Amino acid sequence: MKIIVGLGNPGMQYVATRHNIGFEVIERLAYETGIRLDKRKFKAIFGQGQIAGEKVILMQPQTYMNLSGESVRAVMDFYSLTPREVVVVYDEISLDLGQLRIREKGSAGGHNGMKNIIAHLGTQEFIRFRVGVGPQTPGMDSADFVLRRFNKEEMKIAIEMALKTAEAVEAYLRNGIEYAMNHFNG
């Protein structure tokens, strides 16, 4: 079983913001695979099903970004899963909008949601799909930038990125991490 976690913030005021691209990817995956996000537990909204023959939990933590690790840890403990069975999808301001970077492990890179997940898991060794939402506007605070909504042109690219990232997650589940990295990193 794998947990596919999309990071974001709950609430209508955060819909279509850069920080919520992880939520968008989970919604796209749910739609494409017929998995209903209809359960509330573990401080999250989630659904269970299968993708590419793999049992999965698609999850959107409802704790706000900087406490996302609470939800991830709760699900892991309940299902007796290891960090290697966790996949986190999140926004990355150091990557241009439209870029995707898949990694098997790594640091939080200044991302508060990732810092909290790493703290709760006790390791940096879990798979992550970093979805580019940059470049950051010069002189703008990082928090203000990621909480800004996409403009009309950016929204088209963000929707394409959510589709591409969902496809990359499915490819990972079907063919493994090396395949996904070789075909989708760029």
- Choose, from 19, 111, 120, 183, the residue flagged as catalytic: 19
93 φ, ψ (degrees, to nearest 5)? -75, -20
The distance in angstroms from the start CA to the end CA of the chain is 28
C-alpha 32: how far from its chain's center?
A: 16
Structure tokens at 134: 């940059």
Report yes or no: 61 and 73 within 8 Å, Cβ to Cβ: no
Q: Give the whole-angstrom CA distance, residue 22 versus residue 99.
A: 14
Residue 94: other Cβ atoms inside 10 A: 15
Report yes or no: 129 and 87 within 8 Å, Cβ to Cβ: yes
Quick check: is 183 catalytic? Answer: no
Does residue 10 have a cis bond before it (omega within 30 degrees)?
A: no
- Please give the positions annotated as active site: 19
